[in-house]
Amino acid sequence: MLADARLFSGAIDLLTERFKPGSVDAVVGIDARGFIFAAAAAVKLRAGFVPVRKKASCPTRPSNRIIALEYGSATVAMHVDALKPGARVVLIDDLLATGGTSAAAAALVKKLGAQHP
């Protein structure tokens, strides 16, 4: 899908169709392919992009969340100053298996005081 501009554009249209440009403050994308979709959605929605990354990938003070995976556990992180309280946020990932990573990212967003529009 990423190699086909029409399909990729269509996917971004579907991800963003329920939001008007300017109605969202940030689009949060989950490491790593979620970054691709979330960044494109952020541009379309005229919003900022915030990555949720593997803990070791955050260069400054992160807020962390441990998640259980099918094969063990992992820690995802977001910068503590990435979102302002009350920010309107859309969360995008490229895959939903158990939902653990998305749930952890949503918990980080909530911990920083942001909300779904």
Answer yes or no: are the C-beta atoms of 41 and 12 closer than 8 Å.
yes
Say whether 17 is catalytic. Answer: no
CB-based contacts of 5, cutoff 8 Å, min separation 6: none
What percentage of the chain's residues is helix, strand, coil (to nearest 5)?
35, 30, 35
Say whether 33 is catalytic. Answer: yes
Which residue of the set 6, 17, 61, 70 is catalytic?
70
Which residue of the set 33, 53, 61, 65 is catalytic?
33
Tell me which residue of 90, 99, 105, 15 sits closest to 53, measured CA to CA: 105
Specify burial of residue 56 (Cβ count, 10 A radius: 0-12, 13-18, 19+).
exposed
Cite the active site residues.
33, 70
